[in-house]
Amino acid sequence: MDSKHGCLLNTRDTFLIYGFAKNMRQNILPNELVALKAYANELLDLDSNAIQRMISSGMKKHG
C-alpha cells in the first residue's frame, strides 16, 4: 500500500482503498490496516470482468 497516497498500486489497476481528511483523524488503527490490506489483496486478485461487475453494481470508478 502506498501510504503517502492511500492507494494500492500494481501494473494493471489502481484502487483507492480508504480515504479520510487528515484534519478529522490522524491515521487508521492497526486492526483497520490489517482489514484494508486483506481487502486490497482481494481486489488485486480480480479479473477485469469482476472489476466491471463491481463498478456496475455501485463501486465508483475515477479517472
Domain extents for the chain? 7-56
In this prediction the pTM is 0.59
In b/e form, how buried is each residue of 13-30, taking b as 16+ CB within 10 angstroms? eebeeeeeeeeeeeebee
Q: Find the mean pLDDT for residues 54-60.
A: 77
Q: Find the mean pLDDT for residues 44-62.
A: 79
Contact 13, 45 (CB under 8 A): no
Each residue of 27-50: pLDDT tens digit? 889 998 899 889 888 888 888 888
User: Is the model's pLDDT at 61 over the cut of 60?
Assistant: no
**DSSP strands (E only) in 1-63:** 7-9, 14-16
pLDDT (0 to 100) of residue 31: 94
pLDDT (0 to 100) of residue 7: 52
